[in-house]
Each structure stands twice: as structure tokens, then as C-alpha cells.
A and B are shown apart, each in its own frame.
Chain A
Amino acid sequence: MSLEGKTALVTGATRGIGKAIAKALADQGAMVVGTATSENGAESISADLKAAGAKGFGIVMNVADPDSIEAGLKEINEKAGAPAILVNNAGITRDNLLMRLKDDDWASVVETNLSSVYRTSKAVLRGMAKARWGRVINISSVVAGMGNPGQANYCAAKAGVEGFTRSLAKEMSNRGITANCVAPGFIDTDMTRKLDDKQREAMMEVIPAGRLGEPEEVAAVVAFLASEAAGYVTGETIHVNGGMYMG
């Protein structure tokens, strides 16, 4: 299998898209370390990987906290080796119309969805540069390009992630390190389950495919970008959205 012998770090791997990504990378033979914000979450990641007959485990790491990232990376380096693949998936929403958006809603979304990507990427780059091989895959969102009412904070953070990724791609290309984004549309996860019926109906009207995406459909693209075959793809954002937005 193509990712045999490589360690992959997937943030926010307890459920939804992150869980599917952890499974997809494990299926390719990678040793997967998934992060969760709680001890229970970390245990469930370990259990899921074990049940799938995969190598890897869950750890507690809060991507909004630099100290927690440092401690997490230390643990990963000791137990699994320096990550060759980093998938920044952890993210939160704090939706509100801008006129009602609180400073804290802004700060926490930018911290968790954007600053975390800067920190985790920086923490793994040295190892990747030494190995002359690395894959950084950041999970963006269709709304980074489209905009979405009620999500100024989330859209700003995700668009920031895409710009960050393009710079990273240019900086590290000649070290065999690629950096790309995957931008999911509406995927059937807890994040979209929070929407009410009216919002869901409106959503279906703008998705040519006429259905929500599955987490596995996002994970398959991540697995491709992580593979050897994707070595010449860098600085890209790949949309996985059933045709609702084409960049």
C-alpha cells in the first residue's frame, strides 16, 4: 500500500469528515494519529482504528492552544515518528450575522480554523524538509470562495487557509512537500445536521447533485493528495461539492 511506513496526523478525527479521512489514510497503510479535544474522543479514535484493523491511535490535542500542539507533537514523534502527512481538519463554526457577531465568535473561529493551521504546519515542516517528502492537506470549505451570510468569521478563516496553503506550497515545493486544500460543500455531518429544514431545503436547490456529500467522498480526495501519485499537485484547492460551486 502506498502510504506504508508513513505517519499521518489528522486533526479533529473523532467524527464526520476527519474520521473518514483517518480511515482512508489507514486503508492506504499509513500509521494514523487522530486528534480529539477530549480523552473520550481520543479513545474512540483508537477504538475505531483498531476495529478497522488499522495502525494508529488517538491523542488529546486542542489545536487552538499552542502548548497543547507542542505536547501533542512530542507524543506523536515519540510513539509514531515525525508526521509525513498532515491533515488540518479540525474546525468549528460560531455562526451569526455580522451585525450580531461577537468578538469572541470571531476570535475563536479564526484561532481554531486558521491559526491552528499555521501552528501545526510549522511544527511538522522541519521533519518533512529533512525527509524531502511531505503532504500538507488543509480542509477548507466551499464558502471560502462563495461567501455565506452568517459565516463571515468562518469564511474569512477558510479563505485565509487557502491563501496560507498557496504560500506554503511555493515555499516548500523544492523539498518534495506539497500543500493543498480540499473544499467540501455540504457533507452529511454533525455540522450540517445543525441546520434547520428550511436551510436544508434551500441548500438542496443549489446542489446540482441533489444530495449531500458523504464524508468518504471528501476522504477519497484527501487520500489521493496524500499519495505518491499526487506529487506534482500543489497549491491547489479541490472542490468536493456536488457541483454547487466551481471556483
Chain B
Amino acid sequence: MSTVEERVKKIVCEQLGVKESEVQNTSSFVEDLGADSLDTVELVMALEEEFETEIPDEEAEKLASVQDAIDYIVAHT
């Protein structure tokens, strides 16, 4: 079983079309990985699917970096 971190990074790569080597924990989805607003929505939906959870809009807005997403998932699943 892969860790939350590995699973989050895998989804980020798939959704944003970036290489694993480009994805650091500190990477910002928008500034470092080139996500647009639609990408971030799709990313949140993919995370919801993978981790079988629902991320409310006001929480989703705060997920700016890979680490933010990992922390959220760890705290809420």
C-alpha cells in the first residue's frame, strides 16, 4: 500500500501532466506546476475520488501546495 504522499503525488502528476521529478512537497499547484482554475477543480475532484472523501469548497480553496493536500488528507481520512 502506497503512502498518502505517494498517492497524492501520483494524482498531481496525472492531473497536471507533470513529471514526478518536478513535484516537490513544497510545490505550489498554480505557481510551480502551472495549474489553471479548472485544473485545481479537477485535482480536488480526483483527490476526493481517490481518498473517498468530500472536500468542501472553502477547504479546497486553501489547498495551494502538494503538502497542503497531503496534510488535509491525513487529517480528514
| A contact residues vs B (CB 8 Å cutoff) | 126, 129, 171-172, 174-175
Measured in the bound complex, the distance between the Cα atoms of B38 and A129 in whole Å is 10
Measured in the bound complex, the distance between the Cα atoms of B38 and A25 in whole Å is 29
Check if A129 sits within 8 Å of B36, measured CB to CB: no
Check if B36 sits within 8 Å of A174, measured CB to CB: yes
Interface residue B45 (Cβ < 8 Å from any Cβ of A): yes
Measured in the bound complex, the distance between the Cα atoms of B34 and A174 in whole Å is 14
User: Digit string of B24-65 for contact with A (CB within 8 Å is 1, else 0)?
Assistant: 000000000000101000100100000000000000000000
Check if A174 sits within 8 Å of B38, measured CB to CB: yes
Number of residues of chain B lying within 8 A (CB) of chain A:
4
B12 to chain A, nearest CB (A): 15
Measured in the bound complex, the distance between the Cα atoms of B42 and A172 in whole Å is 12
Contacts of A129 in B (CB 8 A): 38, 42
| B contact residues vs A (CB 8 Å cutoff) | 36, 38, 42, 45
Contacts of A174 in B (CB 8 A): 36, 38
Contacts of B42 in A (CB 8 A): 129
Closest to B45 in A: A126
Closest to A172 in B: B38
A-B contact pairs, 8 of them (CB 8 A): A126-B45, A129-B38, A129-B42, A171-B38, A172-B38, A174-B36, A174-B38, A175-B38
Measured in the bound complex, the distance between the Cα atoms of B36 and A172 in whole Å is 12
B51 to chain A, nearest CB (A): 17
Closest to A126 in B: B45
Measured in the bound complex, the distance between the Cα atoms of B38 and A171 in whole Å is 8
Measured in the bound complex, the distance between the Cα atoms of B45 and A13 in whole Å is 32
Contacts of A126 in B (CB 8 A): 45
* Contacts beyond the supplied A129-B38, A172-B38, A175-B38: 5 A-B pairs with Cβ under 8 Å: A126-B45, A129-B42, A171-B38, A174-B36, A174-B38
Measured in the bound complex, the distance between the Cα atoms of B42 and A126 in whole Å is 8
A41 to chain B, nearest CB (A): 33
